[in-house]
Structure 1
């Protein structure tokens, strides 16, 4: 009898243990999806607010009180299709400032702290960029689900209110999401499914197809070892109007990596102290960090000068060592590419040769060049290279990632070059707009006043020397003089477009480039885009001019051999004289047979967009009018001058 009691007791205990283990598998895991995910056949998105606490300063104004908050967003693959490079939009709107996003990155590449509380933000996975299916992974949540843990600050919601985003949705192409469902006060979720109306693209690559962009950068792993690897970075300029001078590239290491050595480029700071006193120093205790290239989390990288191209240690790479010059393909296909290599060391737990992760948050800038907005690195098929031995075989990289960057139009008063207009039928030139390139110190000038009209010769002197000419011109022509006077344009480069002539069969214009900077611009170019009249372009007489097919109606011009430098501003000939800008000029001729009906003097003879070295320049809001003041030709005075010259010459004889 006692034996039966023991058996029964053991059976009950085993049964209870078995039942408990089943419940742990389905609901006990804190990362397990909520029950609503069971009804989703696609991608289940959720956002959960965790907590918040009042931050300093403590204010009586509830709308201005800052709160520190924590929340988590997740995306779960509940369907049959794998999702590569997932992208999620979160509609923050409570003046949120994100301080960190564990498990994710901001797709716009902004640094933390990042203000996202107006237009929301786009989140991507890092290091988990792809979501596999439950079928292919036996329901392994670590491969089919991604979680992003947010920490940040929000404003304007009095306790016990819960700051929730307006919406959450999947941003990958081909998916549609309903409005999210609220679950209580602190959670929302949505099920995003494939749009059946969209035909799927025929993808022939294992990873995400390579993207087309104005500028693409690839991060290729060439060799890999347990604790380090050799990577090659390739920059490719694809925009016909894009250009970079003295480029500086930055990124952010996410897993404690450091750069041991480089070839074809270098970092602005060479210092191993960051490694010695950090996690790398603890792991590599016998490592000589005095020779390490860089230990910064966010290094700044620039191109080698040309004299290092054949250096056995620093150069000897194709497309390297051009002093940071990246030309458009319209100027040179060979010089539109740059390459450098770096030896990267990893730290624990990334000690296997398959633990390979690219840096995030790539940014690239030039001296006076367009602004680029770059994506996060996306895994693509390995890059292929021709074999170095010359054999008919291809060498593949171990792993490759692509960063796609596109040019963004400058915001108002954030340009770096500007345009002035003048014409043969009006004596006044319309100068660059007030504060066209920003106004840092506007205490002694009016940054909201319209720029004053000028005599055309005043465009040749710096703005600081134009005040007297501007006021005198206003007095002669009875123009109003603002008080205080308008601020200058503050641009390093200005361009004057002068409508030179207009006749029945054609017309001409003159372009003048002014360099007010202290640096020379090598291999400069300028591009003019017209709405209607560009098709009639015939010739640029002092520049090499070409009509581009893309962008349409755009004239691309560069210096002729021997004139490829736009020289820097120099001192005047005498002490106290105004500084003299570097200057180049050319006349352009146009015909009308392909563009009948043009109204040249009413706008068609002025460009709608102007670019210098890829940077879009700010245009004036007005054009010269035909009813402006013009100097009258005095025939009597001309006759007197001619007769006087004749008499002088006769007396000399």
Structure 2
């Protein structure tokens, strides 16, 4: 009996850990770190390290990614182009030529834009900001060049590093062991000939929202034209209110310049709300036409210390297979499975609304979506008009309980179009008489 109980506990832990790193809306999404040894030196090698963000809608925001690992032997980093080590470590035994880092477990970050030209490398110097592959494949890559010493100078003497870690910028990523793969082939800068890496290994990292944080980072509120009930975000959706995690809108600390606050740039300073979420997504069923219906989406930032650049909003709804027009956001359908087309990604237009500003008058973005009805499946009953899942920047938002949705009133007699026209007529008559 005891053995059976332990077996079920182990099975539960395995299933839970697997589900945490698997996203049904992005089943093949991962981050791949490719390590290509390009040439040998007197005591080591020169390599190109490339980060590919193959995730569909999850990207790396400021302050960007951090890649770490543990050396297999006593390797050191002589130099880096396009990135820098977080700490140098104890390099006192090297007197003539000081290495860039002697740490047994180094951590490397991207350089900021505007870095000196002699420190740059291709696809570097973006402050660690990397777009999602589904949003912009051309900006979903980051690179740096590293010169490694005391490592061996041949395929037989070089040992693969161990225990890779990835922060993006916070926790949430789990990296597997490095694996040898066929050597990468490169095109020379002049584009006339090909060259090949001497040795290549890959590291695959996957994201788990459970590992990233204990609470969600966003929530969803709902409303509709056919019901006066506004369904708010669930209370304590992202944690409960206390004086250490939030401030009121009239707080004196908000009147200080950002540099004078005691918080770091990437920390949170939330507006006190009942849901305590940095971001709220509001879905409003706005208008019902004969062959179409319209939804208004509003995204609000409650974090006084953070802008969300190159944000993404992913929504799962059965009628997203018939999107007719999106008015103020970019839109891209996400077809994770060939037979299902019910998920789409919204994101900002470049240089227009691709940044969600910090809390305040400018801390919100809005758009409307026009959808064509499929008369075989369309209905406003039982909360059908509201999304099944919502993700902001790759993290799933907490939805209200289904029994609190603004359902269609019984007086509508099952005809939302008739009800919508009736309400519009009554409002017109009231305004006309008044």
Structure 1 length-normalised TM: 0.51
Do residues 357 (structure 1) and 156 (structure 2) align?
A: no
2:119 corresponds to 1:314: yes
Tell me what 1:337 maps to. Answer: 141
The answer on whether the counterparts of 2:383 and 2:407 sit within 8 Å (CA) in structure 1 is no
Matched, 1:621 2:401: yes
Q: Using the TM superposition, give the Cα deviation of residue 590 of structure 1 relative to its aligned residue in structure 2, in angstroms.
A: 1.0
Displacement of 1:487 after TM fit? 8.2
Identify which of 217, 220, 231 aligns with 1:416: 217
CA distance in 2, matches of 1:526, 1:275: 46
Using a 3 Å threshold, how does the CA distance of structure 1 residues 487 and 516 change in structure 2: closer, same or farther? closer
The structure with the larger Rg is 1
Aligned counterpart, 1:526: 313
Matched with 2:324 is 538
What residue number does 2:168 align with?
Answer: 366
Give, in angstroms, the shift of residue 582 of structure 1: 0.8
Unaligned 5+ runs, structure 1:
1-92, 95-115, 122-211, 446-461, 467-485, 571-579, 645-653
Pick from 190, 196, 203: which aligns with 1:403? 203
Give the Cα separation in 1 of the matches to 2:427 and 2:299: 34
Change (3 A) 1:433 1:553: same
SS of equivalent to 2:136: coil
> Cα–Cα, structure 1 residues 637 and 320, in superposed 2: closer, same or farther, change >3 Å?
closer
Give the C-alpha shift of residue 516 in structure 1.
2.1
Matches within 5 A, 1:199-598: 214-245=30-61, 246-269=64-87, 271-272=88-89, 274-276=90-92, 281=93, 285-289=94-98, 292-308=99-115, 311-315=116-120, 317-346=121-150, 354-367=156-169, 371-392=172-193, 394-410=194-210, 413-439=214-240, 488-517=274-303, 518-530=305-317, 532-550=318-336, 552-561=341-350, 562-570=352-360, 580=361, 582-593=363-374, 596-598=376-378
Task: Give the SS at the match of 1:313.
Answer: helix
Aligned-partner SS, 2:117: coil
Q: CA shift at 1:403, angstroms?
A: 0.9
Spell out the pairing of 1:110-125 with structure 2 (5 A cutoff): 119=13
Structure 1's 637 and 590: CA in aligned 2 closer, same or farther, altered over 3 A?
A: closer
**Alignment match, 1:130:** none
Aligned residue for 1:334, secondary structure, equals helix
Give me the whole-angstrom Cα distance separating, in 2, the residues matched to 1:527 and 1:417.
12
Map Cα deviations across residues 456-499 of structure 1 (whole Å, 9 max, x no partner). xxxxxx89579xxxxxxxxxxxxxxxxxxx98433222211112
State the 1:294 CA deviation: 2.4
Work out the CA distance in 2 between the residues paired with 1:242 and 1:417: 14
For 1:504 and 1:410, locate their aligned partners in 2 and report how far apart those are by CA, in whole Å: 43
Report the CA distance between 1:601 and its aligned residue. Answer: 4.1
Separation (CA, whole Å) in 2 of partners of 1:399 and 1:534: 45
The structural deviation recorded for 1:117 is 12
Note if contact 1:213-1:404 (Cα within 8 Å) is conserved in structure 2: no
Equivalent-residue separation in structure 1 for 2:186 and 2:79 (angstroms): 22
Distance 1:636 1:535 in 2: 34
User: 1:362·1:376 contact (CA, 8 Å) conserved in 2?
Assistant: yes
Question: What SS is found at the alignment partner of 2:386?
Answer: coil
Of residues 392, 404, 419 in structure 2, which corresponds to 1:612? 392
SS at 2:320 equivalent: helix
- The correspondence of residues 20-59 of structure 1 with structure 2, limited to 5 A, is none
Deviation of the 1:262 alpha carbon: 1.0
* Structure 1 CA distance for aligned equivalents of residues 106 and 158 of structure 2: 19
**Deviation of residue 366 (structure 1)?**
2.6
Q: CA deviation at 1:511?
A: 0.8
The separation in 2 between residues aligned to 1:643 and 1:626, in whole angstroms, is 31
SS class of match (1:587): strand
| Cα pair 2:155 2:199 within 8 Å, conserved | no
Following superposition, the deviation at residue 119 of structure 1 comes to 4.4
Structure 1 residue 505: Cα displacement: 2.1
The question of whether the paired residues in 1 share the 8 Å contact of 2:30 and 2:53 is answered with yes
Secondary structure in 2 matching 1:296: coil
Is the 1:502–1:600 Cα contact (8 Å) retained in structure 2?
A: no
CA contact (8 A) 2:40 2:154 kept: no
Following TM superposition, by how much is the alpha carbon of 1:592 offset from its aligned partner in structure 2, in angstroms? Answer: 1.0
Give the SS at the match of 2:215.
Answer: coil
Count of matched residue positions in the alignment of Structure 1 and Structure 2 = 376
In 2 relative to 1, CA 596–257 (structure 1 residues): closer, same or farther, beyond 3 Å? same
Deviation string 1:1-54 (CA, Å, 9 cap, x unpaired) is xxxxxxxxxxxxxxxxxxxxxxxxxxxxxxxxxxxxxxxxxxxxxxxxxxxxxx
Give, in angstroms, the shift of residue 437 of structure 1. 3.0
Cα distance in 2 between the residues matched to 1:636 and 1:503: 17
Unaligned segments of structure 2, at least 5 residues: 1-5, 16-27, 251-271, 412-421
User: In the TM superposition, what are the counterparts of 1:56-95 in structure 2 within 5 Å?
Assistant: none
Which of 1 and 2 has higher RCO (CA within 8 Å, sep 6+)? 2
Contact 1:219 1:358 (8 Å CA) reproduced: no
Q: Which residue of 2 aligns with 1:186?
A: none
